[in-house]
Structure 1
Amino acid sequence: MPALREKAEILRKLHAGPRILVLTNAWDAASARVIQAAGFPAVATSSAGIAYVLGYPDGQRISRAEMLDMVRRIAASVDVPVSADVEAGYGTTADAAAETARGVVAAGAAGMNLEDVDDRGELLPVDRQVERLRAVRAAADALGVPLVVNARTDTFGVPSLAPSDAPDEAVRRANAYLAAGADCAFVPFVRDRDAIARLARDVAGPLNVLGLPGAPPVAELEKLGVRRVTVGSGVARAAYGLARRIALELRDAGTYGALGEGALSYAEMQALMS
């Protein structure tokens, strides 16, 4: 497993600069190859994108085994480190999180996301998530892989938490998770510049935010102190949006204009997959 250890160390160093780490999220082997060919130093996976490929909605409806099988295919298809989005670890216990971490390592991924919500989308108690993160770190360490753990907190995404309370709770949770062994804190669904700046200032480690329409551009996020930007299922959903435009054009006009909107040629795809 020396190669995977090396990839994990590379991924960890990318969070330390000198520039912000920008990752585009893949959902299958082909999208991962496209992203690597575009020059990215690592690839993140999209759990929602993978679920859609296999016919599931997002939100841990897919099984751990199916998710990890696609992570394995993605990791095997690229040379750069892969960070696997494995939702909330497919179970709310420390044992479930540890089993997922072992599966991530076996799949060849150098990092993983772990969410702090249950199957209903509600926030887990902080001490429960801390226990789960410690179990993830211990499981990876036992395998000799310094897995890069990106601890996600959904304080800005759960309906049960008032928006005014979300920043304080995000900082509290992020710092607890970093102290438990996480390498990076992921706070999605925040677009406000002041809130992002506050998170970057008060979170005691690298901050990952989600690149969304309406969020500050990458250069500004870097100035605010953000260390990692990912785009989640955004690329996959954009691709499906194009597929819908193509289908509607074929149905209604019988023409093919949308087929040429940024499409890679057959020869390019063949070369990428060779």
Structure 2
Amino acid sequence: MSFASLHQPGKPLILFNIWDAGSARAVEGAGAVALATGSASVAGANGYADGQQMPFGELLAVAARIRAASDLPLTVDFEAGYADHPEDVARNALRLHGLGVAGINLEDGIPPESGIRPAVEMAGLIVAIRRATDLFINARTDLFLQNPPAAHAGLMDQALERARLYADAGASGFFAPGLVDPGLIGALCKASPLPVNIMKSPAAPAIAELAALGVARISFGPFPWREAMAALAASYRDQVLNGG
């Protein structure tokens, strides 16, 4: 089964985001059918802040190690493409493609959280990547992440317009992290021309509810890495500081 075919509305692909080869093997061993990195997780695991602060060469090295450790399809969080010009973004995507990566996330947020790229400009990046590769391009809009939940209903028309533009440009999926209202998620899934990806944050609906709403892909973003680091710190406190 191809990576694209795993995206089925109502029967979503579950991606429990990883950050290195070891976490890839752990998630694969637990039964995952595909792997996905998260930018905050990979950056944090390597001592960087999120928002393209980690050099692209180091991201390539992480992706290469994961590919060497697992044969599962891998999609890499490509953030905003690690460049500004479409040709350079496409060249970077082609380097990931050369590692055997199945897909990428490309976001319209300008890192680190410096606003939203104009939709036409984002579409131009997608066009350039599509001309260069056959990667699954998961086009992410940061409209909902960069605005409070009370404003989300008023952003739906803009989000759907971006979904249509990104689809026309050659995107494969539409990612709306930060959107947690069930009614809005359902409306997005119904109207989007692309399969919808929702991030399973603590505030988001349960997996079964997201599936019933028509979501085709559920990812966990930075939360697995944060939980793992919290467990590590708690273990240190218990066994070292508290003499456990």
- Which amino acid is 1:116 matched to? D
Equivalent pair of 2:160/2:188 in contact (CA under 8 Å)? yes
The number of aligned residues is: 242
User: Would the alpha carbon gap of residues 240 and 199 (structure 1) be closer, same or farther in structure 2, given more than 3 Å must change?
Assistant: same
Identity %: 36
User: Would the alpha carbon gap of residues 97 and 219 (structure 1) be closer, same or farther in structure 2, given more than 3 Å must change?
Assistant: same
Question: Take 2:85 and 2:57, find their aligned partners in 1: how far apart are those partners?
Answer: 17
User: Which residue of structure 2 lines up, in the alignment, with residue 130 of structure 1?
Assistant: 123
User: Which residue of structure 1 lines up, in the alignment, with residue 166 of structure 2?
Assistant: 177
User: Would the alpha carbon gap of residues 79 and 48 (structure 1) be closer, same or farther in structure 2, given more than 3 Å must change?
Assistant: same
User: Which residue of structure 2 lines up, in the alignment, with residue 73 of structure 1?
Assistant: 65
User: Would the alpha carbon gap of residues 240 and 76 (structure 1) be closer, same or farther in structure 2, given more than 3 Å must change?
Assistant: same
Partner-residue secondary structure (3-state), 1:87: coil
User: Would the alpha carbon gap of residues 87 and 73 (structure 1) be closer, same or farther in structure 2, given more than 3 Å must change?
Assistant: same
Question: Take 1:160 and 1:19, find their aligned partners in 2: how far apart are those partners?
Answer: 29
Residues 1:217 and 2:210 are matched in the alignment: no
Partner-residue secondary structure (3-state), 2:105: strand
The alignment's TM-score, normalised by the length of structure 2, stands at 0.94
- Which amino acid is 2:84 matched to? T
Q: Give per-residue Cα distances to partners, 1:159-217, cap 9 Å, x unaligned.
A: 49944432222111122111110110000011110110111111112000001112111
Question: Take 1:228 and 1:163, find their aligned partners in 2: how far apart are those partners?
Answer: 20
Residues 1:193 and 2:194 are matched in the alignment: no
Question: Take 2:136 and 2:175, find their aligned partners in 1: how far apart are those partners?
Answer: 12
Partner-residue secondary structure (3-state), 2:100: coil
The alignment's TM-score, normalised by the length of structure 1, stands at 0.84
Equivalent pair of 1:23/1:40 in contact (CA under 8 Å)? yes
- Which amino acid is 2:122 matched to? Q
User: Which residue of structure 2 lines up, in the alignment, with residue 241 of structure 1?
Assistant: 230
Aligned pairs for 1:35-46 (under 5 A) are 35-46=27-38
- Which amino acid is 1:136 matched to? I
Question: Take 2:34 and 2:195, find their aligned partners in 1: how far apart are those partners?
Answer: 16
- Which amino acid is 1:23 matched to? L
Q: How far off its partner does 1:96 sit?
A: 2.5
Show structure 2 runs of 5+ residues with no match.
none
Show structure 1 runs of 5+ residues with no match.
1-8, 141-145, 256-274
Equivalent pair of 2:141/2:177 in contact (CA under 8 Å)? yes
Partner-residue secondary structure (3-state), 1:83: strand
Question: Take 2:68 and 2:228, find their aligned partners in 1: how far apart are those partners?
Answer: 23
Q: How far off its partner does 1:72 sit?
A: 1.1
User: Would the alpha carbon gap of residues 160 and 134 (structure 1) be closer, same or farther in structure 2, given more than 3 Å must change?
Assistant: farther
Which of 121, 142, 147 is the equivalent residue of 2:135? 147
Question: Take 2:148 and 2:211, find their aligned partners in 1: how far apart are those partners?
Answer: 30
Q: How far off its partner does 1:82 sit?
A: 0.4
Partner-residue secondary structure (3-state), 1:150: strand
User: Which residue of structure 2 lines up, in the alignment, with residue 157 of structure 1?
Assistant: 145
